[in-house]
Structure 1
Amino acid sequence: MTKAAQTKRQQQASIQQIADQLCDIASNFWWTWNSSAQRLFAAIDPMLWEATERNPLQTIKQAPDHRLLTLASDEAFLKNLKAVQKQFADYMKSKTWFDRTVKGKDKKARIAYFCAEFAIHESFPIYSGGLGVLAGDHLKSASDLGIPLTAVGLMYRHGYYRQEIEADGSTKAVYPEYDFNDFPIEDTGIIVPVPVGRRRIHAKVWLAKVGRIEAYLLDTDIEENTPKDREITHFLYGGDNETRIRQELILGVGGTLALQALDIEPTVYHLNEGHAAFNGLHRFSELLKEGVPSEEAMETVRAGGCFTTHTPVPAGHDRFDVKMARKYLSQYAGEDTGLSVNDVLQLGSEDLDNKNAPFCMTVLALNFCERANGVAELHGDTSRRMWIDHFGLSDPDEVPIGHVTNGIHSQTWLAPEIEPLYTKYLKPNWASPNADSDWWKKADKIPADVLWNTRKMLRTRLIRFVRERLVQQAIKHGQPLEDIVTAQTMLDENTLTIGFARRFATYKRAPLIFHDMKRLKAIIASTDRPVQFVFAGKAHPADKDGQKYLQQIVEFSKQPGFRGRIAVIENYDMQVGRMLTSGVDVWLNNPLRPMEASGTSGMKPPLHGGINCSILDGWWPESYNKKNGYAIGGKQFDKQSEQDTYDANSFYDILEKQMLPTFYKTNKEGVATKWVDMMEASMKTVCAQFSTHRMLGDYTSQYYLPAHRDALKK
Structure 2
Amino acid sequence: MSDLLFNLAVIPVIPAELQRLEELANDLWYGWNRRARSLFERIDPDLWTQIGHKPRLFLRCVAQDKLQHAATDDPVYLSELQHVLASYDAYHAAPAPHSPPTHSLKSDDLIAYFCAEYGLHESLPVYSGGLGILAGDHCKTASDLRLPFVAVGLFYHQGYFTQLIDREGNQIARHNAIDIDHVPIHPVLDENNEPLFIAVEIANRSVQVKAWRVKVGRIHLYLLDTDVAGNSPEDREITYQLYGGDLHTRIKQEIVLGIGGVRLLRRLQLTPSVWHLNEGHAAFLILERLREYVEQGYRYETALEAVAASAVFTTHTPVPAGHDHFPQELVLHYLGHFAQQLGRTPESFLALGHGHDGSPDFNMTALAINGTRHVNGVSRIHGQVSSEICTAFWPEIPPQENPVDYVTNAVHVSTFLAQEWSNLFDELLGGNWRDQLCQQSLWQQLANQVPEKVFWNTKQSIKSQMLKVIRAALLSQYCHQQLSQSHLQRKLKYIDPDNPNILTIGFARRFATYKRAALLFNDLSWLRELLSDEERPVVFIFMGKAHPADQPGQALLKSIHQLSDEPEFVGKVLLLQGYDLAVARRLLYGVDVWLNNPVYPMEASGTSGMKAAINGTLNLSVLDGWWAEGYDGQNGWGIKPSPFSQEPSRRDQDDARSLYEILQDDVIPLYYQRNQYGYSPQWIRRAIASMTTILPRFNSVRFLNDYVEKFYQPASEKGRAFFANSLQAADELAQWKRQVREAWPGVQVKLLNLPKNPLHYGDLLELEVTAQLNGLSADMIYVELLLTQTVHHPEIMLSDSPTPAQTQTYRFLPMTTQPNDKQVIYRLSIKPAWCGNLTGRVRFFPHHALLSHRHEMGMMRWVGDF
Using the size of structure 2 for normalisation, the TM-score is: 0.79
Distance (whole Å) between structure 1 residues aligned to residue 442 and residue 61 of structure 2:
41
What's the counterpart of residue 396 of structure 2?
393
Aligned pairs for 1:125-164 (under 5 A) are 125-164=125-164
Quick check: 1:442 aligned with 2:448?
no
**Quick check: 171-180 or 469-478, which moved more?**
469-478
Distance (whole Å) between structure 1 residues aligned to residue 597 and residue 274 of structure 2:
36
What's the counterpart of residue 457 of structure 1?
461
What's the counterpart of residue 282 of structure 2?
276
What's the counterpart of residue 192 of structure 1?
198
Contact 1:109–1:705 (CA under 8 A) maintained in structure 2: no
105 and 521 in structure 1: CA distance in 2 versus 1, 3 angstrom threshold? closer
> Amino acid of the residue matched to residue 420 of structure 2?
E
Q: Displacement, 1:92?
A: 0.5
Contact 2:15–2:71 (CA under 8 A) maintained in structure 1: no
Quick check: 1:513 aligned with 2:520?
yes
Quick check: 1:350 aligned with 2:355?
yes
Contact 2:27–2:216 (CA under 8 A) maintained in structure 1: yes
**Quick check: 72-81 or 702-711, which moved more?**
72-81
Distance (whole Å) between structure 2 residues aligned to residue 266 and residue 527 of structure 1:
61
> Amino acid of the residue matched to residue 51 of structure 1?
Q
Contact 2:326–2:361 (CA under 8 A) maintained in structure 1: yes
Q: Secondary structure at the residue paired with 2:19?
A: helix
From 661, 668, 678, the counterpart of 2:669: 661
Contact 1:468–1:488 (CA under 8 A) maintained in structure 2: no
Contact 1:45–1:59 (CA under 8 A) maintained in structure 2: no
From 682, 685, 689, the counterpart of 1:674: 682
Distance (whole Å) between structure 2 residues aligned to residue 388 and residue 426 of structure 1:
47
Contact 1:435–1:696 (CA under 8 A) maintained in structure 2: no
Contact 2:635–2:690 (CA under 8 A) maintained in structure 1: yes
Q: Secondary structure at the residue paired with 1:260?
A: helix
| CA shift digits 1:460-503 (9 cap, x unpaired) | 22222211111011223333333443455343521111110000
Quick check: 1:211 aligned with 2:214?
no
Distance (whole Å) between structure 1 residues aligned to residue 676 and residue 313 of structure 2:
55
Q: Displacement, 1:104?
A: 7.7
218 and 18 in structure 1: CA distance in 2 versus 1, 3 angstrom threshold? farther
What's the counterpart of residue 379 of structure 1?
382
Contact 2:96–2:102 (CA under 8 A) maintained in structure 1: no
Q: Secondary structure at the residue paired with 2:435?
A: coil
Quick check: 1:232 aligned with 2:235?
no
Distance (whole Å) between structure 2 residues aligned to residue 545 and residue 159 of structure 1:
23
Distance (whole Å) between structure 2 residues aligned to residue 24 and residue 437 of structure 1:
37
Distance (whole Å) between structure 1 residues aligned to residue 481 and residue 75 of structure 2:
44
What's the counterpart of residue 5 of structure 1?
none
| CA shift digits 1:76-113 (9 cap, x unpaired) | 22111111111100001112336776448623220000
Q: Displacement, 1:18?
A: 4.6
What's the counterpart of residue 657 of structure 2?
649
Contact 1:190–1:261 (CA under 8 A) maintained in structure 2: no
Q: Secondary structure at the residue paired with 1:608?
A: coil
What's the counterpart of residue 408 of structure 1?
411
From 609, 634, 650, the counterpart of 2:616: 609
Q: Secondary structure at the residue paired with 1:385?
A: helix
Q: Displacement, 1:162?
A: 0.2
Q: Displacement, 1:427?
A: 2.9
Distance (whole Å) between structure 2 residues aligned to residue 101 and residue 361 of structure 1:
30
What's the counterpart of residue 299 of structure 2?
293
**Quick check: 184-193 or 590-599, which moved more?**
184-193
78 and 484 in structure 1: CA distance in 2 versus 1, 3 angstrom threshold? same
What's the counterpart of residue 332 of structure 1?
338
Contact 1:168–1:555 (CA under 8 A) maintained in structure 2: yes
Q: Displacement, 1:23?
A: 0.8
613 and 244 in structure 1: CA distance in 2 versus 1, 3 angstrom threshold? same
Distance (whole Å) between structure 2 residues aligned to residue 20 and residue 640 of structure 1:
60
Aligned pairs for 1:487-526 (under 5 A) are 487-491=491-495, 493-526=500-533
Quick check: 1:700 aligned with 2:708?
yes
535 and 396 in structure 1: CA distance in 2 versus 1, 3 angstrom threshold? same
| CA shift digits 1:598-635 (9 cap, x unpaired) | 01000011222111111010001111111111111333
Distance (whole Å) between structure 1 residues aligned to residue 494 and residue 669 of structure 2:
23
What's the counterpart of residue 484 of structure 2?
480
What's the counterpart of residue 719 of structure 2?
711
311 and 79 in structure 1: CA distance in 2 versus 1, 3 angstrom threshold? same
Contact 1:303–1:707 (CA under 8 A) maintained in structure 2: yes
**Quick check: 687-696 or 99-108, which moved more?**
99-108
What's the counterpart of residue 316 of structure 1?
322
Q: Secondary structure at the residue paired with 2:14?
A: helix
Q: Displacement, 1:593?
A: 0.3
What's the counterpart of residue 470 of structure 2?
466
Distance (whole Å) between structure 1 residues aligned to residue 344 and residue 643 of structure 2:
47
> Amino acid of the residue matched to residue 620 of structure 1?
W
404 and 520 in structure 1: CA distance in 2 versus 1, 3 angstrom threshold? same
> Amino acid of the residue matched to residue 721 of structure 2?
K
Contact 2:104–2:713 (CA under 8 A) maintained in structure 1: no
Q: Secondary structure at the residue paired with 1:389?
A: helix
480 and 667 in structure 1: CA distance in 2 versus 1, 3 angstrom threshold? closer
Q: Displacement, 1:643?
A: 0.7
Contact 1:15–1:72 (CA under 8 A) maintained in structure 2: no
Aligned pairs for 1:511-660 (under 5 A) are 511-637=518-644, 638-660=646-668
**Quick check: 29-38 or 245-254, which moved more?**
29-38
Aligned residues: 700
Higher relative contact order (CA 8 A, sep 6+): 1
What's the counterpart of residue 341 of structure 1?
346
433 and 365 in structure 1: CA distance in 2 versus 1, 3 angstrom threshold? farther
**Quick check: 425-434 or 496-505, which moved more?**
425-434
Distance (whole Å) between structure 1 residues aligned to residue 492 and residue 47 of structure 2:
22
> Amino acid of the residue matched to residue 566 of structure 2?
Q
Q: Displacement, 1:124?
A: 1.0
Q: Secondary structure at the residue paired with 1:429?
A: helix
Q: Secondary structure at the residue paired with 1:556?
A: helix
Identity of aligned residues (%): 40
Q: Displacement, 1:351?
A: 3.5
Distance (whole Å) between structure 2 residues aligned to residue 187 and residue 70 of structure 1:
33
| CA shift digits 1:243-285 (9 cap, x unpaired) | 0000000000001101011111100000000000000111012
Contact 2:437–2:699 (CA under 8 A) maintained in structure 1: no
Quick check: 1:689 aligned with 2:711?
no
> Amino acid of the residue matched to residue 377 of structure 1?
R
**Quick check: 95-104 or 684-693, which moved more?**
95-104
What's the counterpart of residue 34 of structure 1?
33
Distance (whole Å) between structure 2 residues aligned to residue 561 and residue 371 of structure 1:
53
Distance (whole Å) between structure 1 residues aligned to residue 355 and residue 329 of structure 2:
16
Q: Secondary structure at the residue paired with 2:207?
A: strand
**Structure number with larger C-alpha Rg:** 2
Contact 1:97–1:434 (CA under 8 A) maintained in structure 2: no
What's the counterpart of residue 179 of structure 1?
179
Contact 1:491–1:565 (CA under 8 A) maintained in structure 2: no
Q: Secondary structure at the residue paired with 2:431?
A: coil
Distance (whole Å) between structure 1 residues aligned to residue 283 and residue 305 of structure 2:
16
What's the counterpart of residue 17 of structure 1?
16
> Amino acid of the residue matched to residue 712 of structure 1?
R
What's the counterpart of residue 46 of structure 2?
47
104 and 38 in structure 1: CA distance in 2 versus 1, 3 angstrom threshold? closer
What's the counterpart of residue 9 of structure 1?
none
Distance (whole Å) between structure 1 residues aligned to residue 634 and residue 287 of structure 2:
48
What's the C-alpha RMSD, in Å, of the aligned pairs?
1.7
Q: Displacement, 1:437?
A: 7.3
